[in-house]
Structure 1
Amino acid sequence: MVRGVGRALPGPLWSDARVTSQQSLPPLARGADRAPDTAYDVALLDLDGVLYVGPDAVPGAAQALERARSAGMRLGFVTNNAARTPDEVAAHLTELGMPAEAGDVITSSQAAATVVAQRFGDGAAVLPVGGPGVAAALREAGLRVVERAEDEPVAVVQGYGRDVGWTQLAEAVVAVRGGATHVATNADATIPSPRGVLPGNGALVGVVSTVTGQQPLVTGKPDPAMHAECVRRTGAQRPLVVGDRLDTDIEGGLRVGAPTLLVLSGVTTPADLLAAGPEARPDLLAEDVGGLDRVHPEVQPSGDGWRCGAWTATAAQDELRLARTAGAPEGEDDGLDGLRALCVAHWAAHPDGGAAAQATASDDAATEALGRWGLTGR
């Protein structure tokens, strides 16, 4: 799918001397010697899988955001879910104990509407496909919303909507085949839910593109426009991107030069993280958004491997080996130090990417840890 909004950013939106001086280290190795909510001025937070899953809040998320605000961190909410309006998103967050205003929220529908308005001008006819948030964003951007391909729309903007069905998809196909530009708010193939992963907007975008033979213009994350817009709105000088997806949140943060925090409360698994390419490797890792107020340990070279806390990982050819270091201090392991060591060992051995290595264990503690993360141990 074609990505980009037709305008390049001037460069990174932030700078940090400590990180800049350590660019040769793999991501995750640097850690953070201060809690992120004191080191960065704004958190650009994804929603699905980070703050809530379906209708329910991620456990502890509201308390984590309250602590972050108390530490002086401001919050921006950045979502690829185009179904709802910013007012609806803010109301949902507030109901879940995470106070938010519409101005704190930027959706992929807004990004898509801005792109279409810039390209085709005020009052251009556009066919929306998706939830109410898509049409609302188009109207807010000064575009004319139409319902049929016969209304000759200049563009079809397709975003997520739970009730999207054959009728809307067929109308989009006819419009695109008639010359309308196909714009997708995002290409997320899945969304998290209490029942497991479910089809996301990207799955339905694929239906239209398969039938028309045309790849859409994708404007949501990881395109830099959304994070850049949120940075502009908040006036962030040192933003931190927080998300649960490697291919949107983490890659999107890297594209704007911002540090990233991956949380494992959504769709990304430890196996996904281990296999991540250089374009999607996060700077920090936590089980959930509570990682905003914790110090993140460094992963340091140790002999022929890498050590994080009480864990050491070594990489040899296509095998990774994890060991619990005898006599190592317990420290404040959040349960992820061994995973951090594995990732850094693998990424250091494959800086340009490479197939995920087989993970093996040197002791019973490592076997238990690998099993907990869904990795193979023997």
Structure 2
Amino acid sequence: MTADLAGGYDLVVFDLDGVVYLIDKPIAGAAEAVGQLRGRKTAVAYATNNASRRAADVAALLTGMGVPAAPAEVLTSAGAAAAVLAEKLPAGSPVLVVGADALRDEVREAGLTPVGEAGDEPVAVVQGYGPDVGWRVLTEASLAVRAGAMWVATNTDRTLPSPRGPLPGNGSLVAVLRTALDRDPDLVVGKPGPALFTTAASQAHAEHPLVVGDRLDTDIRGAVAAGLDSLLVLTGVSGPADLLAADESERPTFVAADLSGLFRPAAEAAVPLKAEDAGGWRVDRDGDTVTLAGAGDPVVALRLLCAATWSGVPLSGITAASDAARELLGAWKL
């Protein structure tokens, strides 16, 4: 058994946006990380809440980035949503699609009839991310739901990571309908629900999977819900301050700056790190306050501080006692 973190697992399930790529640009080291896993015969899967691409398109995009992927290894919230609707509705039922062509294609392939207007009397509305979603289709969806159509959202991620910073995600578009209708969707299919992860594990016949994600509220929360270990990488949406304030339902097993953490000892990524000093850093706790001193790897400091904040110290109770600590807390906006 390999002594590094990844060596303890028989399947690694990657989120995509913020972990492997940003929109359509690969994150440094992602291709090498996946290649190393494949070289040691560790199964790999990809689970994404982004409903704007079909599994085959995602696999082609990844392969084009130098991250080899087969369509069967990709699980999307679009495919999962269409499968759920196909289970609940008679074949051929009209479904109003709010989102990209990929979601429409998934609905059609599932044996249902995609439509675009409330006047088509849809029995369900399925809503996923699409860069061209606008007022007209949201209006039709609102009218259809008011008329009694079931409302299914592929996911509720408020933002999408990008090289320019966070962009509005499907959750922001769902919020438009939630405000107009004064109600929540009848069903949210993707993460933080556990289905994408449990399906990936089942397909790979994995007994001990690891989930790798960049979002606490979807990737990590979904892994916790599925009873799986997880690694948070700091290359996407959730940052150090988010991790320090994380609710118990959103706390990862490990944290690393990027995917290279998969190939270091698990003990170097385990969170929280319950010690007074490590890696050049020292923490001193006094009741509801904690002081960080020294210098070193920022992730080590983060793991040390999680031990304090996860046991009752508020973010406002973190202070610095060295120049490096002050610089680090400032970068984390603490």
Pick the aligned partner of 1:264 from 234, 244, 253: 234
- Aligned length in residues: 329
- Which residue pairs with 2:133 in the alignment? 164
Residue in 1 that maps onto 2:318: 359
Corresponding residue SS for 1:336: helix
In the TM superposition, 1:1-378 aligns within 5 A as 34-216=3-185, 217-296=187-266, 297=268, 301-302=274-275, 306-324=276-294, 334-347=297-310, 349-350=311-312, 355-372=314-331, 374-376=332-334
1:300 is displaced (CA, Å) by 5.4
Tell me the distance in 2 between the aligned counterparts of 1:375 and 1:269: 10
Q: 1:86 offset after TM fit, Å?
A: 0.7
Stretches of structure 2 lacking an aligned partner (at least 5 in a row)? none
Higher normalized helix content (fraction of residues): 2
Q: CA deviation at 1:295?
A: 1.3
Q: 1 CA distance for matches of 2:24 and 2:297?
A: 27
Q: Which moved more, 1:110-119 or 1:290-299?
A: 290-299
- Seen in structure 2, the aligned counterparts of structure 1 residues 154 and 308 have a Cα distance that, compared at 3 Å, is farther
- Give the CA deviation at 1:137: 1.6
User: Structure 2 vs 1, CA of residues 300 and 127 (structure 1 numbering), >3 Å: closer, same or farther?
Assistant: closer
Note the aligned Cα RMSD (angstroms). 1.8
C-alpha separation between the residues in 1 aligned to 2:202 and 2:104? 24
In 1, distance between residues paired with 2:165 and 2:96? 31
Structure 2 CA distance for partners of 1:163 and 1:300, relative to 1, 3 Å = closer
**SS where residue 307 of structure 2 aligns?**
helix
CA drift of 1:38 comes to 1.1
Percent identity reads: 46
Q: Secondary structure at the match of 2:315?
A: coil
Matched residues in 1 for 2:183 and 2:325: separation?
48
- Name the CA shift for 1:173/1:250 in 2 (closer, same or farther; >3 Å): same
Greater RCO, 1 or 2 (C-alpha within 8 Å, sep 6+) = 1
TM-aligned CA deviation for residue 307 of structure 1: 3.7
**Is the contact made by 1:68 and 1:292 (CA closer than 8 Å) also made in structure 2?**
no
Instruction: Point out the more displaced range, 361-370 or 240-249.
Output: 361-370
Structure 1 contact 43–75 (Cα < 8 Å) conserved = yes
Moved more, 286-295 or 172-181: 286-295
Shift of 1:229: 1.2
Note if contact 1:127-1:155 (Cα within 8 Å) is conserved in structure 2: yes
3-state SS, counterpart of residue 78 of structure 1: strand
Corresponding residue for residue 20 of structure 1? none
